[in-house]
Chains A and B, each alone.
Chain A
Amino acid sequence: QSALTQSRSVSGSPGQSVTISCTGTSSDVGTYNYVSWYQQYPGEAPKLMIYDVTKRPSGVPDRFSGSKSGNTASLTISGLQAEDEADYHCCSYAGGYTLVFGGGTKLTVL
Chain B
Amino acid sequence: EVQLLESGGSLVQPGGSLRLSCAASGFTFSSYPMTWVRQAPGKGLEWVSGISGNGLSPHYADSVKGRFTISRDNSNNRLYLQLNSLRAEDTALYYCAKVRVMSSAWYPPYYFDSWGQGTQVTVSS
Contact = CB atoms under 8 A, between A and B. Distances in A.
A30 to B, nearest CB: 15
B116 A103 contact: no
A47 B95 CA distance: 12
How would you classify the secondary structure of chain B's contact residues: helix, strand, loop or mixed? loop
Contacts, number: 73
B67 to A, nearest CB: 15
Task: Place the interface of chain B in its size category.
Answer: 20 to 34
A104 B116 CA distance: 19
Contact of B45 (A57, A97, A104): A104
Interface of B: 37, 43-47, 50, 57, 59-63, 95, 100, 106-113, 115-118
13 contacts: A3-B44, A34-B110, A44-B117, A91-B45, A96-B59, A97-B59, A97-B106, A97-B108, A99-B50, A100-B47, A101-B46, A103-B44, A104-B43
